[in-house]
Amino acid sequence: MEQHSPLLHRLENGNLQDDNDIPTITNCKEASKEWWKESKKLWILAGPAIFISLCQQSFLATILTFAGQLGTLQLAAVSIANTVVAGFSFGVMLGMGNAVETVCGQAFGTGKLDMLGLCLQRSLVILNTTALLLTVTYAFATPILKAVGQTDEIAEAAGKFAVWTIPQLFAFAMNYPLARFLQSQGKLFVMSAISGAALIVHVIFSWLLMLKLGWGLVGAAIMLNFSWWIVVLGQIAYIFSGTCGGAWTGFSWSAFHNLGGLLRLSLSSAVMMSADFMYMMALLLMAGHLKNAEVATDSVAICINLVFWIYMIYLGFNIAIGVRVSNELGAGHPRAAKLAAIVASCTSFVIGLMFMMVILITRNVFPMAFTTSSVVAKAVSKLAIFLAVAVILNNVQLLLSGVAIGAGWQTFVACVNIVCYYVLGVPLAILLGYKFDLGTKGMWGGMLCGSALQTAVLCIITIRANWSREAMRAESRIKTWGGGFTHQSST
């Protein structure tokens, strides 16, 4: 197939560039000009994506804030349920949804819009089937949490909360394919409006149900479910309205063909992304085995919640760079894809440094936003330096993961994550935390060593990438997964 590829012909003749790709940069003035152009393209995508991510992370942040007003047990229960049970599912669904970003982004760059709708439908089938399987972890959350060492009181409360949030699991399964379908086309402003409206409803009714009406954790679960489904239904309404043009022409039986290719990429993406969430989950679970487990769990949970909140900003860059790289590779513009990766990496790193400084300066202040317990707040303050380093590493790592998603490197990066996190990071955290009796500081220090190695490996593979070859692989992927089907709309 490749010998007939026009992209391969251009590569062999040293002409993999056209009017839409960047020219060869020979001086600082040209570099500055191209950098500025790429920065504008990046922020057009990253700005709305960051807003969307912050709104959706604020669903949980709001619940945690109100839960902290109810008591330390309620805060621990919500934290454990969302970090361990829902956090695992969130990582799986987010990761599997990223396969849609790879394929739809590259197909959009190629101009094969009909592939986007097929890919969306295939992903919805795959993710909802996965969600059905994952309901087992929600139903048996209590015994699972007890088995990994949580106290009976926390496990019972977290398990009941998890069962109430099963509808949120299926909202995840719907949301991420829909979101990646729209993002690959650059339709982020309407998504911003939907998420913003959902957040306003969420804050008002969470306060009403949890605090004013006294529904407690049941009210928290109801609002998490409801808010996520507002986002899902809003996106469905927008897609069905016909505003996506040739990217959505209705349901098709062709979506049930060739599921294997997308399934393999989805599974690799799931392992790649869920490894990150499970890494933080492991830290929270280990904290439950320390002396004064409730304070240790609450302090780590607050830090992780803040990491995830900042993570949502980085996720905006992850989405933006994934779209930029996939679109440019699909269009056969390897130089533009490489420049996008460089500009996004530098921009995100600078933002990470700013957050690091804010955390260190406010280390004695920000914990009080999450808890009324002075003991827990003091414990959080002692972890501020580890939190600040984690923010920087997560910043670079997530940005480079977005490059990997845009290029389709998920399988390789998934292997890197497993080795760095679970062969190095977790064993070292256990050794420092328990054997050397360094507690949460030792655990977090060990985990950061795994994160540092993983970030270094991602930097190396991104720098050494052959972007011309990646453009060829993008063309090959679209031909393999998009060819051979006659689109037959049923709507």
Give the rounded percent of residues in the chain with a pLDDT score beyond 70: 92
Q: Number of C-alpha atoms within 13 angstroms, CB side, residue 69?
A: 14
pLDDT at 78: 87
pLDDT, averaged across the chain: 85
Least confident of 19-28, 237-246, 389-398, 430-439: 19-28
Across residues 164-183, what is the average pLDDT? 94
Across residues 120-134, what is the average pLDDT? 93
Confidence of residue 326 (pLDDT cuts 50, 70, 90): very high
Give the rounded percent of residues in the chain with a pLDDT score beyond 90: 41
- 8 Å CB contact between 336 and 21: yes
Which among 175, 414, 388, 482 is positioned nearest to 278, based on CA atoms?
414
Which among 81, 92, 491 is positioned nearest to 276, based on CA atoms?
92
Phi, psi of 231, rounded to the nearest 5 degrees: -60, -45
pLDDT at 20: 56
Least confident of 49-63, 120-134, 163-177, 289-303: 289-303
Give the tens place of pLDDT for each residue, 1-50: 334 444 544 444 444 444 456 666 666 777 788 889 999 999 999 999 98
pTM reported for the whole predicted model: 0.81
For 337, the token pair is 């894809």
Tell me the Ramachandran region of residue 486: left when phi exceeds 0, alpha when psi lies from -120 to 50, beta otherwise: beta
Count of CB atoms situated within 10 Å of the CB of 344:
28
- 8 Å CB contact between 325 and 356: no
Confidence of residue 280 (pLDDT cuts 50, 70, 90): confident
The full set of domain ranges for the chain reads: 30-482
Across residues 401-406, what is the average pLDDT? 92
Give the tens place of pLDDT for each residue, 233-277: 999 999 999 888 888 888 877 777 777 778 888 888 888 887 877
For 396, the token pair is 């670079």
pLDDT at 329: 92
Across residues 172-195, what is the average pLDDT? 93
| Alpha-carbon distances, residue 410 vs 263, 395, 413 (angstroms) | 12, 18, 5
Q: 254 versus 297: which is more confidently predicted?
A: 297
pLDDT at 9: 45
Across residues 87-92, what is the average pLDDT? 82
Confidence of residue 152 (pLDDT cuts 50, 70, 90): confident
Across residues 326-338, what is the average pLDDT? 91
pLDDT at 482: 57
Across residues 452-470, what is the average pLDDT? 92
